[in-house]
Amino acid sequence: AQTVTQSQPEMSVQEAETVTLSCTYDTSESNYYLFWYKQPPSRQMILVIRQEAYKQQNATENRFSVNFQKAAKSFSLKISDSQLGDTAMYFCAFMKHGFSNTGNQFYFGTGTSLTVIP
| Chain contacts with another protein (rule: CB under 8 A) | 4, 33, 35, 37, 43-47, 50, 91, 93, 95, 97-111
Closest approach, Cβ 72 to another protein, in A, equals 21
Closest approach, Cβ 118 to another protein, in A, equals 25
Rank residues 28 and 101 by Cβ distance to another protein and give the closer one.
Answer: 101
d(CA 91, CA 104): 18
CB 105 within 8 A of CB 1: no
DSSP-assigned letters across all residues of 41-97? TTS--EEEEEEETT--SPPEETTEEEEEETTTTEEEEEE-S--GGG-EEEEEEEEES
Rank residues 10 and 17 by Cβ distance to another protein and give the closer one.
Answer: 10
Rank residues 35 and 75 by Cβ distance to another protein and give the closer one.
Answer: 35
Closest approach, Cβ 87 to another protein, in A, equals 17
